[in-house]
Amino acid sequence: MTNTPEPSAFPAPSSQVPWWWQHLDSDGRVLAPDPERQEFPTRGDAESWVGEFWADLADQGVASVTLFEGDREVYGPMSLEA
């Protein structure tokens, strides 16, 4: 016999909060929100994506990015200058 609670004793996981990047111009203004903004299930996925696509974002006029978890600002702005 174990003292491990039955699985039903644990609360059901809440819906996952997405991670996403806010794009800023060179004056620190938020660029128009993308109606299909890229959202990620984990911080690591978001950071990997920006690590791979930062040069493309910079070519599109994005000067810096800020990472959000849902509505919570995690860090930034982070420059995309090479």
**What residues form DSSP beta bridges with 79?**
64
pLDDT at 32: 81
By DSSP bridging, strand 72-79 and strand 19-24 are unpaired
Structurally, the chain folds into a number of domains equal to 1
In a domain, 26, yes or no: yes
Element (H, E) at 13: none
In a domain, 74, yes or no: no
In a domain, 47, yes or no: yes
In a domain, 12, yes or no: no
Can you give the pTM of this predicted structure? 0.78
pLDDT at 33: 73
Q: Which amino acid is at 43?
A: R
pLDDT at 8: 46
Cβ burial, residue 30 (10 Å; 0-12/13-18/19+): exposed
Per-residue pLDDT of the chain (82 residues; tens, 9 = 90+): 555 455 444 444 456 899 999 999 999 999 987 667 899 999 999 999 999 999 999 999 999 999 999 999 999 999 999 7
In a domain, 4, yes or no: no
51 lies in which domain range?
17-30+38-64
Helices (H), ranges, the chain = 43-59
